Amino acid sequence: MADLHMTRVAVSCPDYSALERRIADYATGGEVRFTTRFKPKRADELIGGKLHFIVKHMLVGRVEILRFDDRADGRIDIVCAAALERVYPQPKRAHQGWRYLTDADAPKAADDASGIGALPPDLYRELAELSLI
């Protein structure tokens, strides 16, 4: 796995389920494309890394970055695997475009049986603020 990742706001997605549906709707051939205006300067380091999504100021899920494709209109497609992976929610401020995220700062996969990763971001945030999780 790469040591560098990206973050991006999931615009108009109120929760993880909506993000999951959006990725499933736009997936073709096991891939999903996200358009950006500029190719990241560190694009080679991002291949194999993850694109993390921010929903309601929380990182909630990620997909693997496969490659970057140039488009005819001069923009860039971030081509990712269409398999969305839930992560432990982690606070992250919203921003425009994308930002880099180091491996040390990236949230871990929420693949255990505790169910904590499945909590809605708002509830997770409240429980974390109360030091209950």
Domain regions of the chain by residue span? 4-129
CATH topology for 4-129 is: 2.30.130
Q: Which amino acid is at 22?
A: R
User: Is residue 125's pLDDT more than 90?
Assistant: no
Rounded to whole angstroms, the Cα distance separating 126 from 27 reads 33
What does the pLDDT read at residue 72? 96
What does the pLDDT read at residue 53? 96
What does the pLDDT read at residue 90? 86
What does the pLDDT read at residue 1? 59
What does the pLDDT read at residue 123? 77
What are the pLDDT digits (tens) for 89-99? 888 988 988 99
More confident residue, 63 or 132: 63
